[in-house]
Structure 1
Amino acid sequence: MLNPELVKFLEEFLTPGRRELFNKVIAQRTNHFTVATEDVYQLHNTSAVIRSCDVFGVQNIHVIEERNRKKIDREIAMGAQKWVSLNRHHSSAECITHLKENGYQIVATIPHGKAVNLADFDISKPSAIFFGTEKDGLSQEVITAADAFLKIPMMGFTDSLNISVSAAIILQHLTQKIKESNIKWELTENEKNALKYDWLSKTFKNLPELIKRFQDNA
């Protein structure tokens, strides 16, 4: 188990401004909602979704690369992949199983049919929001496994949105709504410490040296 005293020790090497920013951002992070993208063809769309997760405080994103295995576009993500936890899966089945084992309901985003409007979505359950490919949407495998269906109401002739736009709209709404509720959406203290350690490890190039210094002084 991660020693919280080690995290406190490492924090002392941050500038006061950086330390304040870390604490401010981590206080707004949540694992109550997570996102999954399924075989998205356009790499910049997945990267943009990662960026939206960071902006709206969703810590974990799950990327299913069953057919399309590509590296995340660092330029589009604008460094967000450094602060968001990226979980890669080689199949939709693997991802679904993992999320259900961790207590998430599977929520399929579809533009019509039996989906509930975004404003009416029940935020009380931990939810994994699935987004499909630009061309075909979500696979039948995800739709069959889904516990709930979600859609963004649309008033025009067009009945679909780009995946990155859809994700931004949904995440902004859900995270705002949950923070106005009485639901315990924040990270636990253990989760905060683990996440802060991850961020610190990506900040210090001399991390092994700092850890040794902590151990020598313990």
Structure 2
Amino acid sequence: MKAISSRDNPAVRRLHALAGSARERRKHGETLLDGAHLLTAALQVGWPLKEVVVSDHGLAQADIASLLERAAGVPVLHLPDRLFAHVSPVDSPSGVLAVIDLPAPPPVKTLRDTVVLLDGVQDTGNLGTILRTAAAAGVADVLLTPGCAQAWAPRVLRAGMGAHFVLRIHEGVDAAERLAAFPGPVIATALAAGARNLYQTDLARPVAWLFGAEGQGLSAEVAALASETVIIPMQGAIESLNVGAAAAVCLFEQVRQGQRSS
């Protein structure tokens, strides 16, 4: 374990850059995992850790001490709490983080099973939540258009809670090109007249789901790819849901229908 106490140390400067800059993450080909839960999820699937960073507070936590034992052989940096807070990618430092390599893009292949396409989703919490929901619903491939937040940003990873390690995440995709040969319906949620009730729509089949940005929804180009539109029935004066909540409702209605038909 190597102890560092200076903010000017090159390792500290690199960690600080990785925490806050997508450009620096791309430059170094690395990103940060924050928190014992996320590091544990990575170790459970054999995801390689390049370096572990722990604070004074972290070393005093039994779960983090156990985690360091599981990560035996991985270089460890020990930072004072104030310095760890400086490099932490979140507002409330967890006491432990790890450096990993950004993964290579997954291979391009014909999509035949249910897939989620996200268009311009920039909120890191929403993006991570949708990735987690997709993984929980059994989706294997998630496509992100160029307007989305960086999928492997530390805050997205934290919100995903390990989903990144079991998904194939395709960034910067051309939506029309990737969905051109999709064998099932391409479905978008909409408030417009003519949209079918979600619960009256046949979802016991492969579906390409389209979910758009938090404010403006789908771009015109992506919306035009939809072969069907559905609406989520809501009570009272509420007209719409957060995109993360809408994705959860749609994906788990599909899960429910699939279980009923099996």
Does TM, scored on the shorter chain, surpass 0.5?
yes
Q: State the one-letter code of the partner of 1:86.
A: I
How many Å separate the matches in 1 of 2:118 and 2:148? 11
**Contact 1:54–1:84 at 8 Å: present in 2 too?**
yes
Q: How far does residue 142 in structure 1 lie from its aligned partner after superposition?
A: 2.1
User: By percentage of residues, which structure has more strand?
Assistant: 2
Percent identity of equivalent pairs = 25
Matches within 5 A, 1:76-87: 76-87=159-170
Matches within 5 A, 1:43-62: 43-62=124-143
User: Of the two, which has the highest radius of gyration?
Assistant: 2
Matched, 1:165 2:231: no
**Contact 1:56–1:171 at 8 Å: present in 2 too?**
yes
Matched, 1:134 2:214: yes
Structure 2 spans left out of the alignment, 5+ residues? 1-43, 46-111
Q: TM-score, normalised by structure 2?
A: 0.53
Q: Cα 1:69–1:169, aligned 2, differ >3 Å: closer, same or farther?
A: closer
Matches within 5 A, 1:111-126: 111-126=191-206
How many residues of Structure 1 are paired with residues of Structure 2 in the alignment?
151
User: By percentage of residues, which structure has more helix?
Assistant: 1
**Contact 1:100–1:106 at 8 Å: present in 2 too?**
no
**Contact 1:110–1:137 at 8 Å: present in 2 too?**
no
How many Å separate the matches in 2 of 1:88 and 1:71? 7
- Runs of 4+ off more than 3 Å: none
Q: How far does residue 125 in structure 1 lie from its aligned partner after superposition?
A: 4.4
Match of 1:25 in 2: none
Match of 1:200 in 2: none
Structure 1 spans left out of the alignment, 5+ residues? 1-17, 20-30, 183-218
Q: State the one-letter code of the partner of 1:87.
A: H
Q: State the one-letter code of the partner of 1:103.
A: P
Q: TM-score, normalised by structure 1?
A: 0.63
For each residue in 1:125-152, what CA deviation from the matched residue of structure 2 results, as whole angstroms up to 9, or x when unmatched? Answer: 4210100111111111122221100111
When the two chains are superposed, the root-mean-square deviation of aligned CA atoms in Å is 2.2
